[in-house]
Amino acid sequence: MILRGALVGVTDRSVRTGRPEPIVVEAFSRGLDWFRPAAAAYAGWLAWQRHDAMARPWVAYVVVAVLMAFSLALLAYRRRTTLLLGVEVLLAVAGIFATLLADRPEAVASGQFTLPTIWAAGCVVGAAVLHGRLGGVVVAALIAVADVLEVGTPTVTTWHNILLLFLLGGLIGLAVDLAREGLTRYAQVVAERERLRERERLARVVHDGVLQTLTFIHRRGDELGDGGAELASLAADQERALRRLVTQDLTDDSRVGVVAAERDLRPLLTAREADRVTVSLPADPVTLPAERAVELDAAVGAALDNVIQHAGPGATAWLLLEERGDDVSVTVRDNGVGDDLDHLMSAEDRGRLGVSQSIIGRARDLGGTASVTTRPGGGCRVVITVPRREKESV
């Protein structure tokens, strides 16, 4: 699952700390494990180089042997604890003070290398990996104190080394802290996402079951007669409301990536569905600039109002949304009493604004057209067609 060499990610369970660790922290630990024996070998080589100048070379060899043994043991034993870190720091400090025994005093005073040399830096990094920047800085301070005590009068090189130790402990510790904090956040996000997914799944199951039951009540209620009919219409209302809710949830999801200024017409029109209004839509979103969508929806609303007011009781309306090239068209048809077209269009002269203003006027404002077909007894069909985008005005 995790790519070798990748620095971002998480190990399931680290052998070193016994809990999930960021990969970058594991990489630090792995590098450190190989650094220790290498540093011990380097310390041994340096001691051998200057064993003639030493007062007691055997002390140096013993120290290097102990450091190497410890380093190799840590390659086999992978668990890292504070106690083990303590032992490592103790060994480094002991090695530093053993320099006083191995070397002549004048060599020590002139700033000769300590016996562990860079091996001591390993425990600073180890502390930083285990306990973050606080651990790194604390152990850097311990090693620094040991160095200063060993030298007596610190030289410039001593100060340089101390500064490097603090930088090492502080920066690696900081990196580890950041990686661990990122891991915690990541775990939170994953958990939250899982919870959300589960909630969505439950909602789907519940919705489906409840929808089916409501539809069932609706249907059987109608067959029961008086009392049942009331029950049926109640269930039908709830059924519609729930279906709208479910489809809106879905359309919200599919809106990801659509510019916020764009709006899908489908949820707007679905909201107009009612007992006597059926809405037919395409399966894919029909997006328009938001204000155009709202304006078109308002024109559709006006057409439906017209149905309610003039089509007579018992009239049913159907709403069809289509895309036609660069245009979007909404058809509103009813099977009501209809009207004489001239009579309908002259309503404006009689002080009624209805059709001409709120439907045709709105369509014209959007750069489109609205056509009305009606005859007495033949229902009414309004087709509103508007361009998706505003045409460039010349």
Contacts to other proteins by CB under 8 A: 207-209, 211-213, 215-216, 218-220, 222-223, 236, 239, 243, 246-247, 250, 278-284, 316-324, 331, 333, 335, 381
The 3-state DSSP class for residue 370 equals strand
Least distance (Å) between residue 296 CB and other proteins: 17
Closer CB to other proteins, 324 or 350, in the complex: 324
Q: Strands (DSSP E) along the chain, which ranges?
A: 10-11, 21-22, 262-264, 277-280, 287-289, 317-324, 327-334, 369-374, 380-387
Listed as own residue / partner, the contacts of 372-375 with beta carbons closer than 8 Å and 24 or more positions apart are 372/341, 372/344, 372/345, 373/341, 374/338, 374/339, 374/340, 374/341, 374/344, 375/338, 375/339, 375/340, 375/341
Shortest reach from residue 130's CB to other proteins, in Å: 51
List the beta bridge partners of residue 287: 264
For tokens 């077209």, the residue is: 341
Q: Residue 78 gets which letter from DSSP?
A: -
- How far apart are CB 210 and other proteins at their closest, in Å? 10
Q: How far is the CB of 266 from other proteins (least distance, A)?
A: 9
Q: Dihedral sign for Cα 337, 343, 346, 347, please.
A: negative
Nearer to other proteins, 11 or 247 (CB): 247
- Closest approach of other proteins to the CB of residue 25, in Å: 43
Of 322, 257, 330, 320, whose CA–CA distance to 297 is shortest? 330
CB of 304: closest distance to other proteins in angstroms? 13
Nearer to other proteins, 137 or 281 (CB): 281
Q: φ and ψ at 134, to 5 degrees?
A: -60, -50
Residues 6+ apart with CB under 8 A from 167: none
Return phi, psi of residue 59, to 5°: -60, -45
Nearer to other proteins, 290 or 320 (CB): 320
Minimum Å distance from CB 199 to other proteins?
18
Taking Cα atoms as reference points, which of 339, 340, 341 lies closest to residue 360? Answer: 341
Cα 70 to Cα 28, 63, 81, 86, 183: the distances in Å are 19, 11, 15, 13, 31
* Of 143 and 281, CB closest to other proteins: 281
3-state secondary structure 18-36: CCCEEHHHHHHHHHHHHHH
DSSP assigned state of 389: S
Closer to other proteins by Cβ: residue 56 or 244: 244
Beta carbon nearer to other proteins, 85 or 307? 307
How near is the Cβ of 300 to other proteins at its closest, in Å? 13
Nearer to other proteins (CB atom), residue 24 or residue 321 = 321
